Amino acid sequence: MQDMLDLLTFIAENMGKGEGIERIREVILEKGYTEKEMNLALNYLLLTSGAQREKGGWHKTRVLHPIESAFISPEAYGYLLKLRALGIVNGIQLERIIEEVLMDTERIVTLDELKKVVYRTLFRVQETDDPSLLSEEDEEKLSIH
């Protein structure tokens, strides 16, 4: 789970810096990711970036309400903002993540706990969402704990 989010973030950051896809691919394979994981991450980023461009591209920064900030650590929120800026999550997904975090906790959410919610939001089918990018078989192959 965390590996896939780290992979998405790595690719998005390096593409944003103008790094060539072949160089990114080499580094990813050196890090131990498989071709399938890399292709899944690239497909996800291509699908989401196209949807973001169609809607205007720019987005406003989401500021947490004081009640929300009491339950989401600054580190976790910074990570969410990073994912939003990189186009890995959209505004609706960001709201779902924050909502799920607030409904499932009575204490401050750590970065690792937040990453689990982000993963579920991005790769699990919701009743009103598009089909998941991961099949159950692929999900089992990723390191989900």
What pLDDT, in 10s, does the model give residues 8-47?
999 989 888 888 888 998 999 999 998 888 888 888 887 7
Q: What phi, psi does 65 have (nearest 5°)?
A: -70, 150
Distance CA 3, CA 142 (A): 8
Predicted local confidence at residue 142, as pLDDT: 56
Predicted local confidence at residue 19, as pLDDT: 87
Predicted local confidence at residue 40, as pLDDT: 85
Instruction: Give, for all 145 residues of the chain, the pLDDT tens digit.
Output: 568 888 999 998 988 888 888 899 899 999 999 888 888 888 888 777 654 544 555 556 778 888 898 899 999 999 999 999 888 888 899 999 999 998 887 889 999 999 999 988 888 744 444 445 555 565 555 554 4
Predicted local confidence at residue 97, as pLDDT: 93
Give how far the C-alpha of residue 15 lies from the chain's centroid of Cα atoms, to the nearest Å. 16
Looking at every residue in the chain, the average pLDDT score rounds to: 79
Distance CA 84, CA 32 (A): 26
Burial class (CB in 10 A: 0-12, 13-18, 19+), 143: exposed
Predicted local confidence at residue 51, as pLDDT: 47
> Which residues lie across from 109 on neighbouring strands?
72
